[in-house]
Every structure is written in structure tokens, then in C-alpha cells.
Amino acid sequence: MPAKDVIHDAVKNALIKDGWTVTHDPYSIKYKKVSLLIDLAAERAFAAERNGVKIAVEVKSFLNPSLLNDLKTAIGQYEIYLSYLEIIEPDRKLYIAIDQETYEALTSVEGLEVVFQKHTIPFIVVKIETEEIAQWIN
């Protein structure tokens, strides 16, 4: 099993505070001979709906000195996980969870907007110290 991301627990607690029930930690999916482990899966029931909203969350700390190197891995993970989720559980939405400082760094580099214009990755931006969700980027 891969090592837990350093901000894993902060993201999990932030989801719980936000009203989500964490149903899988990690969330394992299997398709033929391919096995994937996504960090978290969570559900939230809404009064007006019979079925709750379901999400899968891959937690990414950007530890690399180069933002771009971590972004490569994050995009690759997102794209691969999405390929399988669309087949296995198309009603579960995939997010990448990152800390607020990383999100601010990513959005402040002039020219990096090119990547996000082409790849509309949904982010959950988390305040690590207070374990709160700062923003959902859809």
C-alpha cells in the first residue's frame, strides 16, 4: 500500500467537518487486471435527494522543489483514475485535494494557466492548520 500523503488526515478531517461521511480510506478500484488505490471516498446525503453525492479524493502534497514536477504526477493520476471511475462508478466525482498554499502558488505562476485551461481538474483546496475546506474548484 502506498505511503499516506502528509496532508491526508487534514483533508479527511476537513471533509468530515464539511458534513461528508468518509466511506473508504483508501478507496480501491479494480478493473480487469488493473488495481488502483485512490486516497479517500466520501458521501454526503442531501435532504432533498434520495441518493447522496459521492466523491473520490486523491490527496496531493506538492513536496517537489519544482511545482511543475508535482503537477505532472497530479495530472497523470487524475487522468488515469478518471478513466476507470468513468467506467466503474460514473456518478462518483473525482477531486484532487491540495493545501491552500500550494493552490495559491499554482495560480500565481504566470503562464501556468495554460495547463488549467486545457485540463479542468476539480480541486478541493484545504487549509491544513485548521483542517477546513477553503474552496471547491469545479
Give the binding site for its own copies (CB under 8 A).
31-34, 36, 68, 71-77, 79-80, 82-84, 87, 109-112, 114-115, 117-119
Q: At what angle do helices 67-88 and 100-108 cross, to 10 degrees?
A: 110
Least distance in angstroms from the C-beta of 82 to its own copies: 8
Report d(CA 65, CA 77) in Å as an integer: 19
Nearer to its own copies, 117 or 138 (CB): 117
- The least distance separating its own copies from the CB of residue 52, rounded to whole angstroms, comes to 26
Report the alpha-carbon distance of residue 45 to residue 66 in Å, rounded: 39
Question: Considering beta carbons, is residue 86 or 101 the nearer one to its own copies?
Answer: 86
User: Other CB atoms closer than 10 Å to residue 111's CB: what's the count?
Assistant: 6
Nearest residue (CB) to its own copies, 66 versus 138: 66
CB of 135 to its own copies, least distance (A): 23
CA distance 137 to 120: 9
Q: Which is nearer to its own copies, 14 or 121 (CB)?
A: 121
Nearest to 122 by CA among 102, 93, 99: 93
Residue labelled with grid coordinates 476507470? 84
Quote the least distance from Cβ 14 to its own copies, whole Å. 25
